Chain A
Amino acid sequence: QQPVQSPQAVILREGEDAVINCSSSKALYSVHWYRQKHGEAPVFLMILLKGGEQKGHDKISASFNEKKQQSSLYLTASQLSYSGTYFCGTSEYGNKLVFGAGTILRVKS
């Protein structure tokens, strides 16, 4: 079953912050976050594993609440380059990813 992302879309001015949420009804092994710009490939941002380990870009932060099977991606001091569609991908067993419908982020100057 597909994880639920919220919000569906958000518009920010440069320098503002945003939080994108991802919620699953399944017990998860990991949550992966990607950003995709139109016509391009998804770019890896962060992986959060059951047990607390996480890996990703220095300027990106995220959390994973294992009890609630929810993850949040925190974008601070947004830049124009942050614009794109953000997808969370969830994995129950550490292999295939089931992606949410995406959150469209637009940063304006």
Chain B
Amino acid sequence: NAGVMQNPRHLVRRRGQEARLRCSPMKGHSHVYWYRQLPEEGLKFMVYLQKENIIDESGMPKERFSAEFPKEGPSILRIQQVVRGDSAAYFCASSPASYNEQFFGPGTRLTVL
């Protein structure tokens, strides 16, 4: 059973460009969570999605950030007009249902030049 997959693993963008991060949950998992981790810090919740629905986006900045989890295909976290402060590791986790353990993907390390 393949784990949570994320790509790309490393992404370099210049200020003002767009970043698209992809997450494919584990087989049988329909719940996806995105977390951000700044260097030497803990994980911060951003958004929780189920297929085609955003359930909780309370941790996501109101501007420039958006997330989706379409019926077919991976979940996408999109950051428009990136700034240096967006540089971080972005992890996605999946679970078969809410109330269950969450399994993390390997993360995408975004560097904004």
Contacts and interface: CB of A to CB of B under 8 A. Distances in A.
Interface residues of A, number: 25
B54 interface: no
Interface stretch (B11-19, B62-70, B76-84, B104-112): B104-112
Interface in A13-49: 29-30, 32, 34, 40-44, 47, 49
A101 B99 CA distance: 22
Given A95-B48, A95-B55, A96-B56, A43 B104 contact: yes
Given A42-B91, A96-B48, A96-B56, A101 B42 contact: yes
Contact of B101 (A29, A47, A95): A47
29 contacts: A29-B99, A32-B101, A41-B91, A41-B105, A41-B106, A42-B43, A44-B101, A44-B102, A44-B104, A47-B101, A49-B99, A87-B43, A93-B98, A94-B98, A94-B99, A95-B48, A95-B56, A95-B98, A95-B99, A97-B33, A97-B35, A97-B43, A99-B42, A99-B43, A99-B45, A100-B42, A101-B41, A101-B42, A102-B42
Interface in B9-44: 31, 33, 35, 41-44
Interface of B: 31, 33, 35, 41-45, 48, 55-56, 58-59, 91, 98-107
Contacts of A55: 101
B43 A40 contact: no
Interface of A: 2, 29-30, 32, 34, 40-44, 47, 49, 55, 87, 89, 93-102
